[in-house]
Structure 1
Amino acid sequence: MKSNPLSLFQYNFRAPGSEIAGPVRYAIGQSVEGWVLVGRSQHGLCAIFLDSDAEGLCAQLSNAFPQVEREEDAESLDRDLRQLIDFIDKDVAEGVIALDIGGTPFQQNVWKALCAIPAGQTRSYSEVAAGLDAPAAVGAVAGACAANVFAIAIPCHRVVRSDGSISGYRWGVERKRTLLAKERTQ
């Protein structure tokens, strides 16, 4: 996954605090990183989840959007799902996938900073906080990483502890380790 995700994703940030335009349609497939779910609102992909099984993906979607109607729609989301799986599996980034990104103003700033970290490189939580001119906000940076609903597209896997060790990751520490190793070898 050495490709620059900017070549595949169009990052559209909603006004902070604004609600998602539902329903959220979703599709599930498999990649080398496990099961993948893409969720689409009326304005773009609103979720990219990874898990070891399809049931876990559906639970993540329900937890992320509890008040929004969700409906499986594999047929109309096949292209988005295939593009994403090709990106994960083969480092191929063809076309553009629009993302519909919510969050608070601070979360959005953190996610923008994460997208600026080149593939194969890492930053510590404190480096990200310092880059946002908020050096005391290390915990808030970690919280924004944990709130990220865009696996791969917003690369929170590139954020590590100050000593370089790998810590928590919404989709599992081993998956984080694998993603980083893959980026460093390509």
Structure 2
Amino acid sequence: MHPNTDPQIYWTLLNHEDWNMYIAATSSGLCYIGSQSKSFDELAKWVESRFPGTVLARNDEILQPYKAELIEYLQGKLTCFTISVDFRGTPFQLAVWNALCQIPYGQTRSYSDIAGHIRKPAAVRAVGAAIGANPLLITVPCHRVIGKNGALTGYRGGLEMKTRLLTLEKESSVFEGSILHA
């Protein structure tokens, strides 16, 4: 983790239909997406632990491009994000998070698949811990990781949020496929 060079982290509340989550960005890109319907305290605690001494400043304008893409995703219209991100972690965490970004929209992988992808097949538990530390729910799609037996497993946003995201992607993929094959 490198030291924070930003004096502020900008935040806003994303409200779309029944989705409500706090999002935050540095001057370099989106750095945090909160859990569905959690309080501002979740964001404040994360910033305090990852960016000590940083000021949190509400700025709806700076976060508008990030909100716009997230809303398009939640509407089933966007399958690939183009927004800049600023995720900071250990080299191992970054390798895991980059592997998550390679899971295609509407598909899932197991923790063992991710461990194999980063060439650390024995590190399944460490992969799980890195996934649990992912600060960018949705855009770094940790919701696409399931247990080896196909069971839904832990998710920082809660299993209800994980289920909703997987259902959204499955339904959007089926709809998109039916248009392409019509």
Q: Same fold (TM over 0.5)?
A: yes
Match of residue 176 from structure 2: none
TM alignment of 1:75-94, pairs within 5 A: 75-92=61-78
- Aligned residues between the structures: 167
Residue type of the alignment partner of 1:60: E
**3-state SS, counterpart of residue 24 of structure 1:** strand
3-state secondary structure, aligned to 1:181 = helix
| Structure ranking higher on relative contact order (CA contacts 8 Å, 6+ apart) | 1
Residue 101 of structure 1 pairs with residue 83 of structure 2: no
| Equivalent in the alignment of 2:152 | 166
The answer as to 2:8 corresponding to 1:26 is no
Q: Which stretch has the larger CA shift, 44-53 or 111-120?
A: 44-53
Residues 28-177 of structure 1: matches in 2 within 5 Å?
28-32=13-17, 34-53=19-38, 56=39, 58-66=40-48, 67=52, 68-92=54-78, 96-177=82-163
Give the C-alpha shift of residue 33 in structure 1.
Answer: 5.9
- Aligned equivalents of 2:120 and 2:18: distance in 1? 33
Give, in angstroms, the shift of residue 120 of structure 1.
Answer: 1.3
Query: Percent identity of the aligned residues?
Result: 34
TM-score by length of 2: 0.84
* Over 4 Å off, 4+ runs: none
Greater alpha carbon shift after TM alignment, 151-160 vs 70-79: 70-79
Structure 1 vs Structure 2 CA RMSD: 1.9
In the alignment, structure 1 segments of 5+ residues that lack a partner are 1-16
TM-score by length of 1: 0.82
Structure 2 unaligned blocks of 5 or more = 173-182
Displacement of 1:93: 6.8
1:34 touches 1:51 (CA, 8 Å); kept in 2? yes
Instruction: Please tell me whether the aligned partners of residues 111 and 128 of structure 2 are also in contact (alpha carbons under 8 angstroms).
Output: yes
